[in-house]
Amino acid sequence: MEAALQHPDLSPQEQWVERARKVLPAGGFGNFDPSMIIARGEGARVWDEDGNEYVDLLIGSGPMLVGHGHPEVLEAAEAQMREGMTFFANNARGIELAEEICGAVACAEQIRYVSTGGEADMYAMRLARAFTGRSKILKFEGGYHGMSGEALMSLMPTRLENFPMAVPDSAGIPDSVRDAMLIAPFNDIDFVRSLIAEQGDDIAAVIVEPLQRIVPPEPGFLQALREETEKAGIVLIFDEVVTGFRFAYGGAQEYYGVTPDLCTMGKIIGGGFPLAAIAGRADMMAHFDKAKSGADGFLFQVGTLSGNPVASVAGLKTMEILRRDGAYDTLRATGRRIMGYIGAKMDAAGIPHKVVGDETLFEVVFTEEERVRDYRAVQRGDQARAKRYNQLLREKGIFKSDGKTYPSLALTEADVQQVCDAIEHAARHLE
């Protein structure tokens, strides 16, 4: 810590910010507000380098569902570290985790490990192309599927084009990638049907977040998506990197009762360590097996840390905790309480809003519209008011992203009360 104290007139956090600016583009890792330097976490709380304490509603962007430093997860990870941290070879813990995932997730007959959710999504799209021999991918505007060229089409476009034209969100992506992507509005099954009717013979896959960021599927949307893709021989991919083991033990596909062909998972399955997976039907997953697929159908994939044993045991222990009686009831009750409090306080203050999402993952959108059903409806909300809302929460010790609220099992009554007090403070001071 002494090395950080180079400018006595600055606080420790300010000094770390200055150091970061010299060695990191934009002074950060690209994930979050670079003015926040988190020093440690415990349970549902985090502390910054100045010692400020926050209730954590970010929880690492989702993976810390049972809280920071859960003693059982730590014990399991520490025991494995003494036996070895990585091998670049099969290990028993990774096999055990694969068995647990395949037993829990409806579409998962087999899995293949990677290290990040973005990798999993990239390989899932590539796998769909290998399986079908088709080239185009249909995704939904505003859907987040990692950082591949395909995923960075119409993720958060500021220029709204007519559907199904894709808009790149990053420099450095060839036009050929854009031309292979089709974009549809979320929750609009009629538009999807029209696209499939026109171009279905070229579409390899439809990739979708069952709950798109915070926007839930309208009744029947996912079921219709399953029906339309099945009829057209199109691979349906559920991106469950966020929703997997959060919505229910079997993920959003269990919660909504719709089984895709493939799904991707991350975050929770690694228990806070880097781990993700592609899961799906055995006939599709056979493309990862050269002996079954042949050289022309083989999908080459390796990763230095894939199936890492430390991440595997942390994931196994996290999943064991989630299987315990009442875990999901508790999580949903906590989320429902916070959602209700937001609604009540914004109503009392006369602030137009909608609390959008699921009890396990949600956000308030400041809008007068009756329905928030897609990316454009979220964007039409009052963005300045949303920014002010998050600033006011942080002033009262609430750590969260600008676009999502992640409840966790680690939240105590005192934590929830602090969140509610901060919401009341924000409602009083929003213009």
* CA 38 vs CA 42, 176, 181, 311, 318: distances in Å: 12, 40, 38, 22, 23
C-alpha 410/C-alpha 43 separation (Å) is 5
Among the listed residues 259, 430, 243, 267, the one whose alpha carbon sits nearest the alpha carbon of residue 351: 430
C-alpha 368/C-alpha 390 separation (Å) is 19
Positive or negative, the Cα torsion across 136, 138, 143, 145?
Answer: negative
C-alpha 265/C-alpha 348 separation (Å) is 39
C-alpha 93/C-alpha 98 separation (Å) is 9
C-alpha 312/C-alpha 324 separation (Å) is 19
* CA 249 vs CA 38, 106, 255, 327, 363: distances in Å: 30, 11, 9, 10, 22
For residue 348, the one-letter residue type is A
C-alpha 81/C-alpha 57 separation (Å) is 29
C-alpha 87/C-alpha 91 separation (Å) is 8
- Which of 136, 139, 267, 317 is catalytic? The answer is 267
Catalytic: 239? Answer: yes
Catalytic: 402? Answer: no
Among the listed residues 364, 371, 404, the one whose alpha carbon sits nearest the alpha carbon of residue 188: 371
Catalytic: 261? Answer: no
- Which of 144, 328, 341, 389 is catalytic? The answer is 144
Strand partners, 140: 184
- Which of 48, 56, 121, 239 is catalytic? The answer is 239
Task: List b or e across 225-260, with b for residues whose CB sees 16 or more CB atoms inside 10 angstroms.
Answer: bbebbeeeebbbbbbbbbbbbbbbbbbbbbbbebbb
Q: Which residues are catalytic?
A: 144, 239, 267
